Structure 1
Amino acid sequence: MTLEPGYEPRPGLTHRDADWSGLHVLVVGLGVSGFAAADALTERGAEVTVVSRDVTDAITERAQILQILGAEVRLGPEHLRRPPDGTELVVTSPGVPPHDPLMLAAAAAGVPVWGEVELAWRMRAQEGAAPWLTVTGTNGKTTTVGMLTSILQAAGLRATSAGNVGTPILEAVLHPQPYDVIAVELSSFQLHWQRSVSAVASAVLNVAPDHLDWHGSYADYLRAKGRIYDRTHIACVYNVADVQTEQLVMDAEVVEGCRAIGFTLGVPGPSMVGVVDEVLADRAFVEQRQWSAAELCTIADLRGDAASVPPHYIANALAAAALARAYGVGPLSVRDGLRAFRPDRHRLAVIDVPGPVRWVNDSKATNTHAAAAALRSFETVVWIAGGLLKGADVDGLVAEVAARLRGVVLIGRDRAQIAAALARHAPDVPVIDVAETDTEAMDQVVAQAARLAQPGDVVLLAPAAASMDMFENYGARGDAFEEAVRRHVAGGGR
């Protein structure tokens, strides 16, 4: 059953100053985005009920705050069967699939369902709202959005990144100091639940089978990705090497006059950006594009501290450049922004390797608070944890994230403490104990994590502990992890 949450619970709910008062809203989930949604709706006079399957210290604290603000909060899975009587709108977290019983019950009752992105779009200012530049794809989203933000800032714009990883989009939209423009990373989960977003420019970087258990089929996953192009104003950016992305542009309902802009690692044709003799070249946003191009930067400009620039990184830079150029940013700002951009090596850094599993290095998560933030960023995780806990209590962390865990691989001196917490709070989660404490142990860790992971999962190194029992510092630990992942993938591992 396909849900269509595009209809209106009340006419005119298109901006933050609309009449939200008295609207009966059910907010599903009390993570960071759910809390932001409930807070914004309550502030505007809506009658808000919040339900959460999980009950953790952090969720209990958020619940208490929302109750003080006037929301009703119901914790526990028994409250996620059907919307309360009188519900006019459901706002759901992106992790809730369309086949969830609560979502099916909402559809059967004729209650519209919005995601956090849909709500954020409708919470923009009526006049002068920051435009969005949106990015999705099976791989490369976070890097591309980071590059795009760096370019926008190099152009002197007050810009930020938000969405799938990082700042919740609703927080960016409602920031007390308005942004000039927002670079938005969108997952297929988020795109499934939106119908109103109208970006200045949008991009699908690539598409490969992913999250099929959530979407139900590859066709539905592809359809969700394609929704990013709907209602785009200036440019739909697609990957010339991935014919599916161009087809998604052709199928989209765009604003009259919107152009299809390709990015390619080869020589670009008209209305494309690409590479000519080690130069990133624009033949899309120049007046005489039939026979000329604008130089954006060189491949050497992308290198930074790296010994070489992998092809996917160049592709990400081209996509980011195309989005920025669609917004009117000049070539010199594109160059300066790409030169300045540095992926954070050990803070939620996605390792660029092929395959259906994402590998993320957050070795800098040396305490439970940082690890919790990292784990909350993903829906289904194989967690690599352990090291020197320095007396920290991990019970609260494990209890909070238990529902997200596909499996756990434990390393380091204090791993037994984490194992004990997992036995108490996540007894059904498979746990693999790697006893070796030499630096070569990371190959075994990666192999075991790959065995636990399923397509669409994230394998996350977020140790919640210091590294000095096995490594010189957290950077060395992260480096060892990344090198082991690349060896594993090159060797034919998943």
Structure 2
Amino acid sequence: MGSQEVSSTVDWQGKHVTVAGLGVSGIPAARALHERGALVTVVNDGDDERARAQAAELEALGITVRLGDGATLPPSTELVVTAPGWQPDKPLFLAAAEAGVPVWGDVELAWRLRGDNGRKPAPWLAVTGTNGKTTTVRMLASILEAAGLRTAAVGNIGVSLLDAVLGETEYDVLAVELSSYQLHWAPSLRAHSAAVLNLAPDHLDWHGSMAAYAADKGRVYEGNTVACVYNAADPATEDLVREADVEEGCRAIGFTLGAPGPSQLGVVDGILVDRAFVANRQKQAQELAEVTDVNPPAPHNIANALAAAALARAFGVEPAAVRDGLRAFRPDVHRIEHVADIDEVRYVDDSKATNTHATEASLAAYDSIVWIAGGLAKGATFDELVTGAAKRLRGVVLIGADRALIREALTRHAPEVPVVDLDRTDTGAMSEAVARAAELARPGDTVLLAPACASMDMFTNYNKRGEAFADAVRARADESA
């Protein structure tokens, strides 16, 4: 079956479907299935005020909702459609497996329903990886828009894929961010082209092992028709390409921060160049953009830009659109976001760096750093991160519940670096952290919030943590003005 053929022949009328989880994916799934005649039951672990309000809206349509009981498989269930975050070992899924009931994620459902509105389905350009997915997908969408294509950045980025494939807007192509959770539950997904940006230990409590995590990431390459884009600096991503079952003629395309070889995109003398989608890739290279067209031009962000460019070129986008799209792109907040310069010290918010891999990339972007770190470690260890960053550290300010793990790594691998250990986890700690970081900083330094940890010990999410940092920095800027 070609990867862009409509893959759904399901007769939904009267089919008993259980939707696991309310929220961004569950509610659109329940609505879409109900509209197609399915008998839908939504199960949800939570039973709070928000869940009850969502349940009331669905029940008004005739959809059954069971709150506070996400473990039991409803009788007569023929299919389970799950929110991506629900772990595979939940009793609901074990019961489904025992009963021979298939489990799909929201991405699988969207893939099966694309074209269901009678229009030709838009091809998917898919991006996954441990870090950089959202930035790369948004860069890709910007490039596609610059090429005059009707597109949207959808998926794990927070925009429902179901809404995209079933909505009124007719797209030429979709830029799709996919998490390992989503890929786990998407067995029949077949993208036009896809990229795995990098692989580092993450979500191992969910997947059970690094091998299982990598295998789920690698699903994004299955059935690709034009290009499997991999990171030449991360051999594990190339291994996934080798293992993938792709359509005949699909090519492996690498990206590198160095000079590219044939079938690669890379960087030469400050220029992003393409030696993959040119007439004679043995001897020719096509200029795409300048490094200064990438915002910000940190090494890992240039890698993101190359991956986005590779997917766009695989779709036939002209070089000028790559340049124009990268120039037009603006990064999301809390992703290496410059907040202010105070007394010749730069303050940067990378609260989105919630694991060691993301933080490693963030620390590599600056030469002399006062590092604000800490939070919930999620089982991570920090020795390798600290060893790699030690020579760049002017000082460190630690916050959060698991800060001792980072402090111990600093003691082992960077004992000469001054460390301020803030023994508090209230939200006001960020203001003190910024003040203490400012005391350590010297002109030319960067005070960098790159926590390497999750935020929920102190903040609702990484956005709130980043906002607290930015507020504290701006208050300090106002005082020094």
Q: TM-score range by the shorter chain?
A: 0.7 to 0.9
- Tell me the amino acid that sits aligned with residue 141 of structure 2: T
Of 415, 426, 433, 1:433 maps to: 426
Q: Give the aligned partner of residue 105 of structure 2.
A: 115
Q: Give the aligned partner of residue 242 of structure 1.
A: 234
1:230 matches 2:218: no
**Quick one: distance in 1 between partners of 2:77 and 2:332?**
43
8 Å contact 2:227–2:253 — kept in the other structure? Answer: yes
Residues 453-472 of structure 1 mapped to structure 2, 5 A cutoff: 460-462=462-464, 470=472, 472=474
Q: How many residues align?
A: 392
Following superposition, the deviation at residue 355 of structure 1 comes to 4.4
Q: Give the aligned partner of residue 417 of structure 1.
A: none
Residues 328-339 of structure 1 mapped to structure 2, 5 A cutoff: 328-339=316-327
How big is the alpha-carbon RMSD for the aligned residues of Structure 1 and Structure 2?
3.5
Following superposition, the deviation at residue 469 of structure 1 comes to 8.1
- Give CA-to-partner distance per residue, 1:153-174, whole Å, 9 cap, x none: 0001111101112212111111
**Quick one: distance in 1 between partners of 2:55 and 2:251?**
46
Of 276, 279, 282, 2:274 maps to: 282
Following superposition, the deviation at residue 461 of structure 1 comes to 3.6
Larger deviation: 89-98 or 346-355?
A: 346-355
**Quick one: distance in 1 between partners of 2:54 and 2:426?**
34
1:161 matches 2:161: no
Q: Give the aligned partner of residue 128 of structure 1.
A: 120
**Quick one: distance in 1 between partners of 2:466 and 2:217?**
33
Q: Give the aligned partner of residue 86 of structure 1.
A: 76
8 Å contact 2:356–2:452 — kept in the other structure? Answer: no
Q: Give the aligned partner of residue 329 of structure 2.
A: 341
Give the TM-score, by structure 1 length: 0.72
**Quick one: distance in 2 between partners of 1:227 and 1:468?**
38
What secondary structure does 2:94 align onto? Answer: helix
Q: Give the aligned partner of residue 299 of structure 1.
A: 291
Quickly say closer, same or farther: Cα 1:323–1:450, change in 2 above 3 A: closer
- Give CA-to-partner distance per residue, 1:109-143, whole Å, 9 cap, x none: 11100001000101101551111000000111111
Gaps of 5+ in 1: 1-11, 360-379, 381-405, 410-430, 478-494
- Tell me the amino acid that sits aligned with residue 462 of structure 2: L
Q: Give the aligned partner of residue 103 of structure 1.
A: 93
Percent identity of equivalent pairs: 54
What secondary structure does 2:18 align onto? Answer: strand
**Quick one: distance in 2 between partners of 1:151 and 1:448?**
28
Of 164, 170, 184, 1:172 maps to: 164
Quickly say closer, same or farther: Cα 1:100–1:324, change in 2 above 3 A: same
Q: Give the aligned partner of residue 35 of structure 1.
A: 27
- Give CA-to-partner distance per residue, 1:329-365, whole Å, 9 cap, x none: 0000011001111103358976575943768xxxxxx
Q: Give the aligned partner of residue 311 of structure 1.
A: 299
8 Å contact 1:201–1:234 — kept in the other structure? Answer: yes
What secondary structure does 2:120 align onto? Answer: coil
Following superposition, the deviation at residue 65 of structure 1 comes to 1.4
**Quick one: distance in 2 between partners of 1:174 and 1:277?**
45
8 Å contact 1:22–1:45 — kept in the other structure? Answer: yes
8 Å contact 2:354–2:452 — kept in the other structure? Answer: no
Of 48, 52, 56, 1:56 maps to: 48
Give the TM-score, by structure 2 length: 0.74
**Quick one: distance in 2 between partners of 1:450 and 1:355?**
4
Quickly say closer, same or farther: Cα 1:351–1:200, change in 2 above 3 A: farther
1:14 matches 2:4: no
**Quick one: distance in 2 between partners of 1:144 and 1:285?**
19
8 Å contact 2:434–2:469 — kept in the other structure? Answer: no
**Quick one: distance in 2 between partners of 1:458 and 1:434?**
10
Q: Give the aligned partner of residue 356 of structure 2.
A: 356
8 Å contact 2:255–2:265 — kept in the other structure? Answer: yes
8 Å contact 1:432–1:448 — kept in the other structure? Answer: no
